[in-house]
């Protein structure tokens, strides 16, 4: 691998995807127009939620991946740091989704290094939008990727949330966002429990509660797996940056929620 | 048809080297050294925005002296090389040695085949998790690579600066000590350098995956 050099007209600038193409690497799989619709046995990832709190945003995602009715992975990760001050959570076809995130992370880092300054939060959201638009053909054939993007806007000093659709449509949400098969349940819990300017602690609890309910109602969403010690991922993003909440803390929250839930049921039956 | 004058290859190389050296000597120097947490890099640079030191990859930093547009072009080529390699293979496969060799190839090629050599001297620094395993590759305008240990000085007036750094350097020194040593070495006996005249950055093995850390002028005092 030699040092890449370009003349003034051919320089790809800070765009990593353009740079890859210039090197003959097609970053995302290109769907063939004649390919049949993909079977449901492709691995899918499911529920992710995010909510704003007083210092930024909290984001959470379960750990289950399914292929049709089969649980294919119990510990996949769907919440990723995009860079120091933002995160992306994914639902949809796991393969392209994970590859898209890897490329997206590199895209942001590459821009930051070449330009010497990171993209604005709005710019990062637009970048993700463009990648989704590039995946539209594949999405129409069943390889849809539907992410949510959340970050701390350093310039505006606030947390911000973005939802997307498969066409690359970008929708900024004021308070909360959710994606995936269990998102209906999760979002309802968040909607009912949401207050403006929550503490980090309350926001983490609310998201844990929402994933608990989503896992309870949606077979494709995993809850806390106490047998194996696998817990949903919860992260906070504030002025201090991206930080993952420790597994034992998440485990405790889920244990408390489960305890309250079952105590309530025992009372009803008694 | 006119016959071009014959110029001996020795003379041609010497002229080019003189030209490059003159260009480099016009700029300010730069010091890099191992310290307790990794590699400390300090340059005399009054600009807040045009950097001489920057990040290449997780554990690799780049520094250049001489003509800004030329070393900045090398910096961007390095970032692209590293990111492409990390994407194609894995992040672990990106290493300073291979990057330094590539830079040497490119500079050597330009030196012998182009009209004008690059008026730059560059540094590729890498850290590992273990203290004492820092790598400092010093690459000259003609493609000469030197694998330096403990510290390195880039720029025109490097001899007197090297003497000062060699006297003051010790293994496992703190960032504060490294800063003051760099400051006095770069300033020389007759000058004082304020925080605003310095550009400070480091590869710090304690800050996570991306080890590169730039210290703003206003934060230098709190090191």
Closest CB from B49, B81, B83 relative to A3: B81
How far lies B218's CA from each of A199, B42, B215, in Å? 32, 15, 8
Q: What is the pLDDT of residues B127-148, one digit of tens each?
A: 999 999 999 999 999 999 999 9
- Cα separation of B95 and B100, whole Å? 9
Residues of A within 8 A of B76 (CB-CB) are 114
Which distant-in-sequence residues (6+ apart) come within 8 Å of B138 by Cβ? B121, B122, B123, B145, B146, B147, B148, B152, B154
pLDDT at site A151:
97
Q: Quick one: angle between helices A200-217 and A247-269, nearest 10?
A: 60
| Pairwise CB contact (< 8 Å): A19 & B84 | yes
Q: Please tell me the distance in Å from A3's CA to the nearest CA on chain B.
A: 6
pLDDT at site B156:
82
| Pairwise CB contact (< 8 Å): A4 & B54 | no
B-proximal residues of A, 211-240, CB under 8 Å? none
B38-65 burial, b at 16+ Cβ within 10 Å, e below that, comes to: bbbbbbbbeeeeebbbbbbbbbbbbbbb
- Cα separation of A4 and B71, whole Å? 14
Active site residue A46: yes
pLDDT at site A140:
87
Secondary structure element (H or E) that encloses residue A79, with its range: strand A79-83
| Pairwise CB contact (< 8 Å): B87 & A20 | yes
* CB-side neighbour CA atoms (13 Å) of A219: 7
pLDDT at site A40:
56
DSSP B221: G
Closest CB from B81, B88, B105 relative to A4: B81
Residue A243 at interface with chain B, using a CB cutoff of 8 Å: no
| Pairwise CB contact (< 8 Å): A110 & B55 | no
For residue A148, what are its two tokens?
A: 């949510």
Residues of A within 8 A of B98 (CB-CB) are 1
Residues of B within 8 A of A7 (CB-CB) are none
DSSP B127: -
Backbone φ and ψ of A179, nearest 5°: -150, 160
C-alpha angle with apex B50: B41 to B166, nearest 5 degrees? 20
CA A148 to chain centre: 5
* Partners of B82 in beta bridges: none
Chain-wide mean pLDDT for chain B?
94
Closest residue in A to B90 (Cα) is A102
pLDDT at site A35:
67
- Is B206 a residue whose pLDDT tops 80? yes
Closest CB from B51, B74, B83 relative to A110: B83
Residues of B within 8 A of A4 (CB-CB) are 77, 80-81, 84
- Cα separation of A7 and A207, whole Å? 50
Nearest of B173, B137, B187 to residue B34 by alpha carbon: B173
**pTM of the entire structure?**
0.92
Residue A21 at interface with chain B, using a CB cutoff of 8 Å: no
Residue A15 at interface with chain B, using a CB cutoff of 8 Å: no
Q: What is the pLDDT of residues B50-90, one digit of tens each?
A: 999 999 999 999 999 999 999 999 999 999 999 999 999 99
For testing contact with chain B, the best of A113, A115, A240, A242 (most B CBs within 10 A): A113
pLDDT at site A43:
79
For testing contact with chain A, the best of B79, B90, B124 (most A CBs within 10 A): B79
pLDDT at site A37:
66
- Cα separation of B118 and B107, whole Å? 7
| Pairwise CB contact (< 8 Å): B85 & A114 | no
- Cα separation of A60 and A179, whole Å? 11
Q: In a 3-state reduction of DSSP, which class is residue A190? A: helix
Nearest of A147, A150, A176 to residue A78 by alpha carbon: A147
Residues of A within 8 A of B52 (CB-CB) are none
- Cα separation of B112 and A165, whole Å? 54
- Helical H runs in A1-64? 16-22
pLDDT at site B30:
96
pLDDT at site A46:
83
Residues of B within 8 A of A114 (CB-CB) are 76, 79-80
Residue A4 at interface with chain B, using a CB cutoff of 8 Å: yes
> Longest C-alpha distance within chain B, in Å?
68
- Cα separation of B148 and B145, whole Å? 9
How many CB pairs below 8 Å do chains A and B form together? Answer: 53
Closest CB from A3, A23, A106 relative to B102: A3
> A247-253 contacts: CB < 8 A, separation 24 or more?
A250/A208, A250/A224, A251/A224, A251/A226, A253/A204, A253/A205, A253/A208
- Is B47 a residue whose pLDDT tops 70? yes
From first CA to last CA, the distance across chain B in angstroms is 67
Nearest of B81, B73, B136, B135 to residue B110 by alpha carbon: B73
| Pairwise CB contact (< 8 Å): B55 & A3 | no
pLDDT at site B41:
98
Closest residue in B to A102 (Cα) is B87
ipTM of the complex in this document: 0.92
- Enumerate residue ranges in chain A where pLDDT < 50: none
| Pairwise CB contact (< 8 Å): A113 & B103 | no
């Amino acid at each position: 691998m030699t040092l890449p050099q370009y003349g003034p007209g051919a320089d790809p600038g800070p765009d990593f995807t353009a740079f890859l193409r210039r090197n003959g690497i097609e970053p995302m799989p290109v769907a063939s127009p004649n390919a049949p619709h993909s079977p449901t046995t492709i691995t899918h990832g499911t529920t992710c939620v995010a909510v704003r709190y007083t210092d930024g945003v909290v984001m959470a995602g379960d750990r289950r991946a399914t292929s049709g009715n089969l649980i294919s992975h119990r510990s996949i990760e769907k919440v990723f740091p995009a860079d120091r001050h933002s995160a992306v959570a994914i639902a949809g076809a796991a393969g392209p989704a994970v590859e898209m995130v890897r490329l997206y992370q590199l895209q942001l880092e590459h821009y930051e290094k070449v330009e010497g300054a990171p993209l604005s939060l709005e710019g990062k959201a637009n970048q993700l939008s463009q990648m989704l638009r590039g995946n539209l053909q594949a999405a129409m054939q069943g390889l849809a990727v539907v992410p949510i993007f959340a970050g701390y806007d350093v310039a505006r000093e606030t947390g911000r949330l973005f939802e997307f659709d498969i066409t690359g449509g970008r929708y900024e949400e004021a308070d909360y966002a959710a994606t995936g098969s269990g998102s209906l349940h999760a979002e309802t819990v968040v909607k009912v429990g949401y207050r403006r300017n929550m503490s980090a602690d309350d926001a983490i609890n609310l998201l844990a509660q929402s994933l608990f309910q989503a896992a309870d109602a949606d077979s494709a969403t995993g809850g806390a797996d106490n047998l194996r010690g696998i817990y949903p991922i919860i992260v906070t993003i504030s002025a201090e940056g991206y930080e993952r909440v420790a597994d034992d803390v998440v485990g405790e929250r889920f244990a408390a929620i489960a305890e309250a839930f079952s105590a309530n049921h025992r009372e009803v039956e008694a | 048809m006119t016959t071009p004058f014959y110029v001996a290859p020795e003379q041609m190389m010497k002229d080019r080297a003189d030209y490059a050296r003159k260009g480099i000597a016009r700029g300010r120097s730069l010091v890099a050294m191992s310290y307790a947490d990794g590699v400390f890099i300090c340059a005399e640079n009054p600009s807040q925005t045009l950097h001489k030191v920057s990040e290449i990859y997780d554990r690799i930093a780049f520094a250049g002296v001489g003509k800004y547009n030329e070393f900045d072009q090398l910096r961007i080529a390095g970032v692209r090389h590293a990111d492409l390699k990390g994407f194609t293979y894995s992040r672990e496969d990106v290493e300073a040695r291979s990057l330094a060799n590539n830079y040497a190839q490119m500079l050597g090629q330009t030196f012998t085949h182009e009209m004008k050599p690059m008026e730059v001297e560059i540094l590729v620094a890498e850290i590992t998790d273990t203290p004492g395993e820092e790598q400092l590759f010093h690459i000259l305008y003609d493609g000469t690579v030197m694998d330096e240990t403990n510290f390195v000085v880039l720029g025109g007036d490097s001899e007197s600066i090297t003497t000062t750094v060699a006297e003051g350097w010790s293994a496992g020194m703190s960032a504060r000590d490294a800063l003051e040593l760099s400051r006095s070495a770069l300033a020389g006996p007759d000058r004082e350098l304020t925080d605003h005249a310095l550009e400070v950055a480091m590869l710090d093995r304690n800050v996570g995956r991306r080890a590169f850390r730039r210290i703003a002028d206003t934060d230098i005092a709190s090191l």
